[in-house]
Structure 1
Amino acid sequence: MDAQLLRTFVTVTRLASFPAAARELGCGQDTVARHVAALERDLGLPLLTRRPVVPTVAGARLLEHAVPLLLRLDAARAEVARLAPAPDGPLVLAAAPLAVGPRLLAALPAATARVTLSVRPREAIPAAVTDGTAHLGLVDGLTGTGEPLPPPGTGTLTAHRVTEAPLAVHLPATHPLAHRAGVRLGELTGARWVDAPAAGVPLDQLRAAHGTYGFRPALRYDGTDVRTLTALAAAGQGLTLLPATVPAAPAATAVPLVEPRLLHRVVLLHPGEPAAPAADLAARLTGR
């Protein structure tokens, strides 16, 4: 079974679109269609319905095997590549926007190698570390006190906790809740929110934490600049939940979240035991 055909099939299934898969894979739509058709011929079964693009029963079963298999192949390729002499290029650290905090900024000046900091959506970082595009990764998310590592979706990567911080709701200074000492998440289910899945805490995490749908978006922001997100909250475009370490924008305030008792956790990801100089930066980030 050809790994390239599998990768195309997984991409089409994830995006539910042949054109979108072609754009992501950097090839023509006809190439994507040929790859899927070739895989179907090899297995002797239809794997996708075309309108809408959803996996068949056989396709869903193949998907269960294909995703971890491709992740393992990427990990194997990256592990073998690390046996080669170290390149002269920089150490690449991929980080989610909310993972770029005081601990990281303090560690960078003391790094023993030139570092490229690549800010990316959190869901893209485990794959980048697995396939060797990045040497280290910093991901973040909501957690309860004492919940175990690693975070979901990190596969075979090693995970170490970097920081944990309480959370605060950012809202305009004129908001009725602005002068409260604390706020409960349940009070905000009917509020208007900024949906910023890359730069802030995704709304689906708030829904999961509260166990309700709620948390309706008033505006969607697809960027990764946290300062823009806080400015949107200050302008009354919607509320946003951020780590307490993030300062509020002018004309805004950050009210602590007191219930439920959630934390914002930043986790360092790396494959196995990182070699120098990645190991040095990892040690500075985790305090190990």
Structure 2
Amino acid sequence: MDPHLLRRFVAVAGHGSFSAAARELGYTQSAVSQHIAALEKDLGAVLLQRRPVAPTGVGVRLLEHARPLLLRWDAARADMARLTTAPATRIVLGVAPLAMTAWLSSTLADLRGAQPGLDVTVRVLGRAALTRDVATAAVDLGLVDGMAAPADPLQLPDTGLLTTTALAEEPLAVALPAGHPLADRAGLRLADLADAQWIEAPDTAIPLAPLRTASGSDGYRSSLRYEGTDVRGLTALIAAGHGLALLPQREFDDLPGIRAVPVRTPRLVHRIEALHHEMPDGPAARLAAALVAAS
């Protein structure tokens, strides 16, 4: 399979439109149609229905392979470029919203004080975008987060030759409106909330799919989906009664209208890890080492 044709297929399937994919890729619509036809001929299967544009059963299966394959392809190119580039005088740090901590701010201040000419960019990204951008070297160092059993590593997508370094673990709590019947509990069993209304906030709270896996329940259905990286926007929705969310307990300090009830069962923590390529000496390597020392 030609990876270039595979990329055209992913674009068309993602947009649900040949014309929209052509605009994104910088080709004519007829050229993209020819590329898809060539890929279908190579594989001996129809990959896309034309009206409306949607992947066939075979196309859906190919997408499951194509997206991680293309990410690995981009990661390999980025890794080769990184190894042949002079040490940087700037650093782009990618941070998941729930990985923004006081020790991160103080460590950045120390790094900038030790290297006054260093150009630092902090980019807050959702989890999927952050993992992708570290793999493709769009950011030099990423701080990713998620839910795990104590001392267990995070389950991250396969993104090539990346290294993770544990930075912190902290308790998880269910965010409830202040007037919720369970708001005064000392602790909660996650399974007792399977039938509650939840907010699906994949980048600013623990996603609901891992809750189902951890509790062995098909519950945890969302009453509202929140897309974005503003944690305070999410907590405002919780306070207004739109649903519950699972967050690190530190996120509830001084928040009006919110109660944080720790999760007692199962034993789960919010985990933060540094995600990076193997780094030569430079700003990103020094920041990673400082974060490990400070956490």
Smaller-chain TM-score bracket? 0.7 to 0.9
Q: Is 2:279 aligned against 1:273? A: yes
Distance 2:44 2:149 in 1: 44
Write out aligned runs for 1:217-256 (5 A): 217-248=222-253, 249-256=255-262
Scaled by the length of structure 1, the TM-score of the pair is: 0.87
Partner of 2:125: 120
Kindly indicate whether the alpha-carbon contact (under 8 Å) linking 1:16 and 1:53 is maintained by their aligned counterparts in 2: no
CA offsets 1:139-197 (integer angstroms, 9 cap, x no match):
11110123246634343211111111110111121111111111111111111112211
Kindly indicate whether the alpha-carbon contact (under 8 Å) linking 1:135 and 1:270 is maintained by their aligned counterparts in 2: yes
Unaligned ranges ≥5, structure 1? none
CA offsets 1:229-287 (integer angstroms, 9 cap, x no match):
11211121111110112125212211111111111111111112344011011111222
Deviation at 1:47, TM superposition (A): 4.7
Q: Taking structure 1 as reference, are residues 234 and 277 closer, same or farther at Cα in structure 2, changes over 3 Å only?
A: same
Equivalent position SS for 1:133: coil
Equivalent position SS for 1:207: helix
Write out aligned runs for 1:77-88 (5 A): 77-82=77-82, 83-86=84-87
Distance 1:146 1:269 in 2: 17
Q: Taking structure 1 as reference, are residues 240 and 67 closer, same or farther at Cα in structure 2, changes over 3 Å only?
A: closer
Distance 2:19 2:252 in 1: 37
Deviation at 1:27, TM superposition (A): 4.3
Equivalent position SS for 2:250: coil
Q: Is 2:91 aligned against 1:91? A: yes
Distance 1:23 1:219 in 2: 33
Larger deviation: 159-168 or 3-12? 3-12
Partner of 2:54: 53
Q: Taking structure 1 as reference, are residues 21 and 96 closer, same or farther at Cα in structure 2, changes over 3 Å only?
A: farther
Unaligned ranges ≥5, structure 2? none
Number of equivalent positions: 284
Distance 1:24 1:169 in 2: 43
Scaled by the length of structure 2, the TM-score of the pair is: 0.85
Q: Taking structure 1 as reference, are residues 119 and 174 closer, same or farther at Cα in structure 2, changes over 3 Å only?
A: same
Kindly indicate whether the alpha-carbon contact (under 8 Å) linking 1:167 and 1:244 is maintained by their aligned counterparts in 2: yes
Larger deviation: 96-105 or 236-245? 96-105
Distance 2:181 2:192 in 1: 12
Partner of 1:283: 289
Kindly indicate whether the alpha-carbon contact (under 8 Å) linking 1:45 and 1:58 is maintained by their aligned counterparts in 2: no
Sequence identity percentage: 45
Structure in which a larger fraction of residues adopt helix:
2
Q: Is 2:198 aligned against 1:199? A: no
Q: Taking structure 1 as reference, are residues 52 and 3 closer, same or farther at Cα in structure 2, changes over 3 Å only?
A: closer
Distance 2:283 2:200 in 1: 37
Write out aligned runs for 1:175-194 (5 A): 175-194=180-199
